[in-house]
């Protein structure tokens, strides 16, 4: 009787540092998503850096030319964080792909400490599109985002965030973009006004995007022409 041999399982390839960076955890980022993200091979010569003794051990300093090459791949990157409860990497990546389905190029997601993430875009237009549609809400939570910056500290505290505010009880004659902007500025910094509000197509409430200063108490009510219009309330997504 012939016995079929057990199938051999190919060993899992060992990922180098760059592969782990581009595909953290080995999930989420597909090969096709990396098209356009390849960088020219960087060669660092002996005279491109200096090594000295620091207060906590050996210290290396790279020359400006090397640092510019190291920073270049991140020029179209943003830093994001979901306010509230945490979610898995796979869940967030799937939701971002769903929300940003109109992107023209590839994107990748890289997890950092303290629930921060870096999103890298191949195209600058895609990065601008994401910012122009801010704020985004995922699973009822606001997605805070900022441009990638050199030396980002993942231990830093988020002090500002953009949210959609729904103003109820406002008379329709105030549904003027300039008036709505001034009213929104009482709460924070008005970013954008919903198109239905501008067109006066919705009279039950107006909807505006406002940047809040999280170091200050949240303003829940403001007054417009107090003698004739009284108070109106605000609606915020879950934070």
pLDDT digit string (tens) for 19-67?
544 454 444 444 444 444 555 688 899 999 999 998 999 999 999 999 8
Q: How far apart are CA 234 and CA 217, in angstroms?
A: 14
CA-based nearest residue to 122, from 88, 75, 185, 165: 75
Q: How far apart are CA 42 and CA 69, in angstroms?
A: 8
- The pTM of this model reads 0.61
CB 179, CB 194: distance < 8 Å: no
Long-range contacts: 176-182, Cβ < 8 Å, 24+? 180/206, 180/208, 181/208
Residue bearing the bigger pLDDT, 84 or 202: 84
For residue 21 the two structure tokens come to 């960076």
- Angle CA 139–112–163, to nearest 5: 35
Q: How far apart are CA 148 and CA 71, in angstroms?
A: 10
């Amino acid at each position: 009787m012939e016995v079929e041999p057990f199938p051999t399982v190919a060993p899992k390839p060992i990922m180098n540092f760059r592969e782990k960076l581009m595909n953290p955890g080995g999930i989420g980022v597909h090969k096709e998503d990396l098209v356009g993200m390849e960088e020219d091979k960087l060669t660092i010569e002996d005279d491109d850096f200096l090594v000295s003794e620091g207060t906590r051990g050996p210290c290396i300093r790279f020359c400006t030319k090397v640092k510019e090459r190291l920073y270049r791949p991140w020029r179209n990157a943003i830093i994001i964080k979901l306010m509230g409860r945490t979610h898995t990497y796979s869940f967030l990546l799937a939701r971002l792909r769903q929300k940003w389905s109109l992107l023209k190029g590839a994107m990748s997601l890289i997890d950092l400490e303290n629930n921060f993430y870096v999103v890298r875009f191949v195209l600058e237009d895609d990065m601008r599109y994401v910012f122009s549609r801010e704020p985004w809400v995922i699973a009822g939570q606001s997605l805070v985002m900022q441009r990638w910056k050199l030396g980002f500290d993942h231990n830093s505290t988020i002090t500002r965030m953009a949210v959609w505010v729904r103003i109820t009880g406002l008379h329709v004659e105030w549904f003027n973009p300039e008036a709505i902007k001034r009213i929104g500025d009482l709460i924070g910094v008005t970013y954008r006004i919903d198109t239905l509000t501008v067109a006066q197509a919705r009279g039950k409430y107006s909807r505006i995007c406002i940047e809040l200063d999280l170091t200050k108490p949240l303003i829940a009510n403001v007054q417009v022409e107090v003698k004739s219009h009284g108070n109106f309330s605000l609606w915020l997504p879950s934070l």
